[in-house]
Amino acid sequence: MPVPGKNEKHDDFIKRCIPYVINEGTAKDGSQGKAICESIWKKHKNKNKNNEYKEFSFTVQMFTKEQKIELDCKDCDEQQYEIKKNRAVALIGDAFYHGAFLPAEELEKSYKGWENTLHDINHQGTTDVKGFFATSNILYFVGYNDNVTYNPETKAMEMDIHIVDKTHYASAWRGYVELCEKAGQVPNVSVAFLAKTKQVKASDLPEGVDYKAYGYSEEDTVTYIYDIRPQALSTVFRGACDDKQGCGIGKSCSVTQEEQENVTEEINEEKRQALIKWLKEHEKEENK
């Protein structure tokens, strides 16, 4: 799809964009083409405003088996324990996600913001991208997250997931988690947040970060995430991280970054073709 040039004016872009989307088949006429182009203009300009926050979602993994956690109790006669279920390792600091670097210090500053955030399925309660437009649906919220912790040693942020059975898809969520457990797989979660980014040299990343393992040289620039504003946690189908990268528990249901990018391209193309098909069918209906 066309995007506005650096110094391109609004009217010039719209005039250039409309014939493109019509010829490509995305729009059936000038009116629909203008609506699509206006949406592209607005989205692109908002994304490139100074200090504008961008949306991120990083997929990691969740463990659902009971975990026996030791509690601090100096005056107890016997060691006290707490049993936790559905606790997610949501993010790991000082790690790369889809080529962007998430500093541990920024994660530590923001982790409390995930306390009592909502939990949904496949981001369809928070933000679900359909074609060129982002939508959300209240039906896909199934619970909430709390007891959020950050471990400075492991640089891991964890949180408990509570499912509310009165929600529309609660039984689907529980059924999916049970299926994964029966299959010996780990159900994945994807954390969503807004943040700012800047470009820094790989050699300026925190000490100990093995940027060369991710294909960067010391003179390469890296997208550096900062000023995080938490949004939600979602249960999803596929993961982008694995244990080697330091996120999640277990290796089931995880794919490499390259595989995930291929999947994303396939999904985007499917959505584009679906939109084109809908537009053509809609045109036939109007012409009847």
Quick one: pLDDT at residue 153? 92
10 Å Cβ neighbour count for 136? 14
Query: How would you classify the pairing of strands 221-236 and 188-201?
Result: antiparallel
Tens digit of each residue's pLDDT, the chain (288 residues):
677 877 788 898 899 889 888 887 778 888 888 888 888 887 776 665 544 666 665 544 444 444 555 666 667 766 665 555 688 888 889 988 777 899 999 999 999 999 999 999 888 887 665 544 456 788 999 999 999 999 999 898 988 889 999 999 999 998 988 887 788 777 788 888 888 888 899 999 998 898 888 888 888 888 899 999 988 888 887 644 443 443 332 222 333 444 444 444 554 555 566 666 666 676 666 665
Quick one: pLDDT at residue 127? 66
The pTM score is 0.59
Show Cβ contacts of residue 44 under 8 Å, excluding neighbours closer than 6 positions: 3, 4
Task: Decide if 249 contacts 61 (C-beta within 8 A).
Answer: yes
Cα dist. 19→1, 33, 150, 210 in Å?
12, 8, 51, 47
Alpha carbon distance 207, 134 (integer Å): 38
Quick one: pLDDT at residue 132? 46
Quick one: pLDDT at residue 143? 93
Task: Decide if 155 contacts 107 (C-beta within 8 A).
Answer: yes
- Could you give the angle at which helices 10-24 and 30-47 cross, rounded to 10 degrees? 120
